[in-house]
Amino acid sequence: MEDGGMGQRELQREVIDTHLCTGCGACVGLCPYQTSYHDRIILLHPCDIKVGRCYMFCPRTPTNLETMRKSLCEEKDLTPEIGAVKGFYLTRATDEQIRKDAQHGGSVTTLMTLALREGIIDTAIIAEGKENFLHRGVAVNDPAEVKKRGKSKFIVSPTVAEFNRAAKGEAKKIGVVATPCQVLALAKMRLKPVPVDEGNIDKLKLVIGLFCGWALSWRGFMELLRKKTGLDAVVGMDIPPRRHTLEVYTKDGTIEFSMEEVNSCIREACHYCFDTTAEFADISVGSARLPGRWEETRIWNQVIVRTQRGDDLVQLARAGGLLEFREAPGEALDELKKSAMEKKRTALKSIAARSGSSPDLLYLDRFDPVVRMLQG
Amino acid sequence: MSKLIAQKEGVEYLLMGNEAISRGALEAGVSVACGYPGTPSSEIIESLCRVAKEGNLYVEWSANEKVSMEVAAAASFAGMRSLCTMKQNGVHVASDFLLHLAASGIRGGMILVFCEDPGALSSVNEVESRYFAPMIEIPLLEPANFQEAKDMTRWAFELSEEIKNIVMVRSVTRLSHGSGNVIFGKLPNTKRQAEFRCDGPILDPDTGLVFSAPVVYKHQLQQEKIKRAEEIFERSPFNTYEGPEKPGVLLITSSICYLYCREAISLLGVEDRVGVLKFGATWPLPPSFLKRHLSLTDKILMVEEVRPFLEERVKILAAGMAPEMGIKTFYGKETGHFPSVGELNPDLVVSALGKIMGINSYVGMPADYEKKAQALASTKNPQRDLTFCPGCPHRASFWLIHNALQMDGRRGFVCGDIGCYSMAILSPAGGFGVMKTLHSMGSGTGIAGGFGKFGQFGMEQPVLTVCGDSTFYHAVIPALINAVHHRANMILIVLDNGGTAMTGFQSHPGLTVNAMGEEAPAVDIARICEAIGVKVEIRDPFDLEETRETINRLLEDEEGVRVLILRQICGLSPEKKAAKRYEVRIDEALCLGENCGCNRLCTRIFRCPGINWDRQKKKARIDEVICAGCGVCSSICPAGAIKREEAA
């Protein structure tokens, strides 16, 4: 950093130019200088402010993760692999229609609609799939609107930008469904590294994190898809466990892409990601990984409860009979931790390859205890 | 009634140089005048437009310079006197026709007035079109003051009829746009009848075919005409000598430099030692007249702007005369006494002459004057960009093109063209710096059509070009047809601001009124494009978001030529000027100023002259006098601090 600058120029040099940008949208909507287009963050005009929120909130600028763990989680819950764990469950929506409209068990949809209905939040920020996979964050107030948007997106949506927009408006209590990079950005905002305008971040009352291994680059994936199908035909996608394929569901049936094909379209930034489970969320949700038939396990979710307010919401859903619970096999949590750790290890390798020197971990701190454990 | 058609023989009027040229044409009984607007030539046709009705003239702003010369030539073929005007590079546009016209010859007197811009004050070139005269073998006249501007224009028609060929008359910015006293001559009372006689023997100059063949025969004829002109120039009253019988130094000059020479001699007080040989009839240079004056002295200083046109010709003739006349010493551009670029001024002449004569008594402008003035100006004056006017639709258009290209992210660029919008090439770091090439009118589309074919060589950058509405008719159409036919991958954005705005709202074929104020059928750009087979969309650049989305969609749509017309009338157009659409004000409580979240977007990036930065309050401020009320700034303010209300 020249002159200790922490503004747009450094954001460009350290994040955009190095392909670390996740497209989360944290730097968008705060000012007129950044915007998002397709799945990319665009610097429209130069801004010469020395210390800017764009840089401070970015999940790929240097972050003291240890401080963050200690200030946002209870220390007793912390695990090195997947962050704070207050509870670990397998759940699914009791409502069959919700399950049908959702990616897997419909737990996120259920929890978000419940939070809206109970007044825990008045606005839910969720990703909305648009034509040609051009996704965006939307703010909704009606629980029915949440239900329409339950599918996984596979391509980044600048959801945090929508939070920035909504927080400036009339919303008072906001809940966000976010990927790990987006959750990290929101967590950085919560630490208030700069005097934040009008206390907008205090409106953030609930964060539901989504497990995420990687996202696809829009342009690369569009080219891949066009080789095999028309874009209009796609109705859904999924990654079945242990099969090393991406399944694309179309009106005319399922098309499989090998992971080799898919890998070439993965967003470069995802290779440098240290977090698969959205460690700074209130609740993190992913697809279940159970022994047995995929068709049966895919309608379940793994749920990590991380904070008190997360636990309160999950218990409310249990009490209201909105979520079904199933006993998690002992090895499920271990397997999750193992794969999370594997992802972290790979990320460190990729980061060192990118920076060209193993002590230089770009946005990560080599003295972070989890980093040291992996490098030790 | 305009003074230009006043029957006031012998009365002195104050006229702009271009008006003096118009008066000269009127005194010569001109019937048809055509031109294409271009600084510094535009006022000639403009002033003739105003007297067209009373003077029984046909005046038009043609689609381009070549067409203008063709229309004027038709008048000549029909036996009338005609004038066509253009700026210096316009001659290059018209040159193919000029070449063939000079070979075919003309009938009624026809003159080409071209106004040059030494120093490129209002141009993207400072070309010397005087060289067309020897290249195409036609006579060249160069008036040196305002009276001569009128008198030589009138005489040029007579010369043209005498030799049956077109005559070039050259003006420069300081003559065209300066003003001086002019004594009027007589206006003729009658106009010639138009008739094209073409039934005579084919080689008969007055009744035969009008064309350049048999080429060698006609070429021979043309050179005889030049020989005739040379004889006439030997006795021309416009070639003059002033000074002592045996000057120590002879200045040879033409055009406005004549006045600089006179002033320099006076400043140095060397009237008794220095003579001035001024050529008004410059090409072909009369050798006997020249020899008489070269013989007066041994030291000759050539004083002219830009290229050494006279210098070269004088030296060639002097070389031939050397056995009889002796060897002379020439000073000028080749000896480094004058630069070959930019304008001259009296101080430069003083300096060159002083050097030759060993006089350093007069110091004009000190050498470091300009540096000092600039240093002073930069501390006392606010920084002023060459920028778009307040309310200019181009500001919004380039804002959108810039943003769309940034968002697209494939390093797309704009091939520029000639108009106010050319200024988009001057802001490489600001909000508009998207224009990367700039050449002649219509070239943006031609160049883009080339870039748009290079996909096979790995070119992935999107290619855009822009042109104004007048430029579209001038030279874009053939380039567009070429690009369409060859399936070039490009976007043409027509910045349609409803007139030839840069040169002062002259009419063009897209408007419903012609140069003389008569109703005219408007030729629709969109329909032309559609007829060529291009999909056309029309947007308002003031609808920022919709238009930006359209540009991005067109960028994504990688199929052949796409045309977008951005239609919004120029903020200075006569129908819009002073009519504010919105009253704009700043809500200071909302203005974020330099804080994170804005950082002065309006005054640092958008930079409309109608918005100022109040250094004391650290807030933006609308300058109500300057603001044109377009309201675009209120759409870009991130804090909603720029409020606009429909003006009453």
Q: Cβ of B407 and A46 within 8 Å?
A: no
- Is residue B64 situated within a structural domain? yes
* Nearest C-alpha in B relative to A28: B597
Contact map slice: A 180-199 vs B, CB within 8 A = 194, 197
| Ranges assigned E (strand) in chain A | 34-37, 40-43, 78-79, 83-84, 87-93, 123-128, 136-140, 174-178, 204-210, 234-238, 245-250, 253-258, 283-287, 301-305, 323-326
Q: How many domains does chain A have?
A: 1
Distance from the Cα of B545 to chain A's closest Cα (Å) equals 13
Predicted confidence band at A344 (pLDDT cuts at 50, 70, 90)?
very high
Distance from the Cα of B492 to chain A's closest Cα (Å) equals 22
What count of CB pairs under 8 Å joins A to B?
44
Q: Cβ of A32 and B601 within 8 Å?
A: yes
pLDDT more than 70, % of chain A: 97
Domain identity same for B247 and B175: no
Please provide the distance, in angstroms rounded to a whole number, between the alpha carbons at the two ends of chain B: 37
Domain identity same for B224 and B189: yes
Predicted confidence band at A197 (pLDDT cuts at 50, 70, 90)?
low
Distance from the Cα of B644 to chain A's closest Cα (Å) equals 19
Chain A CB within 8 Å of residue B407 CB: yes
Q: Cβ of B409 and A32 within 8 Å?
A: no
Q: Which of B552, B596, B636 sits opposite A52 (nearest CB)?
A: B596
- What is the predicted pLDDT for the residue at B530? 97
Q: Cβ of B431 and A194 within 8 Å?
A: no
- Is residue B187 situated within a structural domain? yes
- What is the predicted pLDDT for the residue at B387? 84
Domain identity same for B29 and B173: yes
Chain B CB within 8 Å of residue A168 CB: no
Q: Cβ of B599 and A31 within 8 Å?
A: yes
Q: Cβ of A51 and B596 within 8 Å?
A: yes
Q: Is the pLDDT of residue A196 over 60?
A: no
Chain B CB within 8 Å of residue A259 CB: no
For residue A254, list its beta bridge partners. A249
Domain that includes residue B593, residue range: 582-646
CATH number, domain of B473, equals 3.40.50.970
Radius of gyration of chain A (CA): 20
Q: Which of B409, B431, B601 sits opposite A42 (nearest CB)?
A: B409
Per-residue pLDDT tens for A13-48?
999 999 999 999 999 999 999 999 988 999 999 999
Chain A CB within 8 Å of residue B468 CB: no
Q: Which of B594, B596, B636 sits opposite A53 (nearest CB)?
A: B596
- Is residue B164 situated within a structural domain? yes
Contact B417, B465 (CB under 8 A): yes
**Segment-wise mean pLDDT, segments of 10 residues, chain B, 648 residues:** 91 98 98 97 97 96 98 98 98 98 98 97 95 98 98 98 98 98 95 95 95 96 98 98 97 98 96 98 97 97 97 97 96 96 95 93 78 86 80 94 95 95 76 88 98 96 97 97 97 94 90 94 97 96 97 91 96 78 95 94 92 96 94 95 93
Chain B CB within 8 Å of residue A373 CB: no
Contact B475, B434 (CB under 8 A): no
Residue B402: list chain A partners with CB under 8 A.
44
H or E element that contains A159: helix A159-168
Q: Write the single-letter amino acid at B378.
A: S
The domain boundary residue, chosen from B521, B542, B567: B567
Q: Cβ of A31 and B407 within 8 Å?
A: no
Q: Cβ of B597 and A30 within 8 Å?
A: yes
Q: Cβ of B409 and A30 within 8 Å?
A: no
The single residue listed with the structure tokens 């055509």 is B34
Q: Are strands B167-172 and B110-116 parallel, antiparallel or unpaired?
A: parallel
Domain identity same for B548 and B454: yes
Chain A CB within 8 Å of residue B1 CB: no
Radius of gyration of chain B (CA): 28
Domain identity same for B472 and B596: no
Q: Which two tokens stand for residue A188?
A: 């950085």
Q: Is the pLDDT of residue A1 over 50?
A: no
- What is the predicted pLDDT for the residue at B263? 96
Domain identity same for B597 and B628: yes
Domain identity same for B223 and B246: no
Chain A CB within 8 Å of residue B638 CB: yes
- Residues A217 and B424: their CA atoms lie apart, in Å, by 33
Q: Write the single-letter amino acid at B75.
A: A
Q: Which of B402, B403, B599 sits opposite A49 (nearest CB)?
A: B599
CATH number, domain of B330, equals 3.40.50.920
Residue B597: list chain A partners with CB under 8 A.
30-31, 53, 197
Domain identity same for B48 and B181: yes
Domain identity same for B262 and B336: yes
Q: Is the pTM of this model over 0.90?
A: yes
Contact B41, B90 (CB under 8 A): yes
- Is residue A346 situated within a structural domain? no
The values of phi and psi at residue B77, to 5°, are: -60, -30
- What is the predicted pLDDT for the residue at B190? 85
Contact A287, A103 (CB under 8 A): yes
- Is residue A150 situated within a structural domain? no
| Ranges assigned E (strand) in A21-131 | 34-37, 40-43, 78-79, 83-84, 87-93, 123-128
The domain boundary residue, chosen from B357, B383, B405: B357
Domain identity same for B83 and B158: yes
Chain B CB within 8 Å of residue A45 CB: yes
Q: What is the mean pLDDT of residues A101-130?
A: 92
- Is residue B631 situated within a structural domain? yes
The domain boundary residue, chosen from B539, B567, B595: B567
- Residues B338 and B348: their CA atoms lie apart, in Å, by 7
Q: Which of B406, B429, B596 sits opposite A31 (nearest CB)?
A: B596
Contact A60, A363 (CB under 8 A): yes
Q: Write the single-letter amino acid at B605.
A: I
Q: How many domains does chain B have?
A: 4
The helix/strand/coil state of B431 is coil
* Nearest C-alpha in B relative to A32: B638
Q: Cβ of A31 and B598 within 8 Å?
A: yes
- Is residue B286 situated within a structural domain? yes
Q: Cβ of B403 and A30 within 8 Å?
A: no
Residue among B401, B407, B599, B602 with most chain A CBs within 10 A, to mutate: B599
Residue A46: list chain B partners with CB under 8 A.
429, 605
Predicted confidence band at A243 (pLDDT cuts at 50, 70, 90)?
confident
- What is the predicted pLDDT for the residue at A236? 80
Per-residue pLDDT tens for A300-321?
999 999 999 999 999 999 999 9
- Is residue B379 situated within a structural domain? no
- What is the predicted pLDDT for the residue at A148? 83
Contact map slice: A 22-41 vs B, CB within 8 A = 30-33, 35, 37, 40
- Is residue A240 situated within a structural domain? yes
Distance from the Cα of B638 to chain A's closest Cα (Å) equals 6
Residue B598: list chain A partners with CB under 8 A.
31-32
Domain that includes residue A243, residue range: 218-263
Domain identity same for B108 and B201: yes
Q: Write the single-letter amino acid at A67.
A: T
Residue B632: list chain A partners with CB under 8 A.
none
Distance from the Cα of A32 to chain B's closest Cα (Å) equals 6
Domain identity same for B270 and B331: yes
- Is residue B381 situated within a structural domain? no
- Is residue B476 situated within a structural domain? yes
More confident residue, A157 or B467: B467
CATH number, domain of A241, equals 3.10.450
Residue among A27, A31, A198 with most chain B CBs within 10 A, to mutate: A31
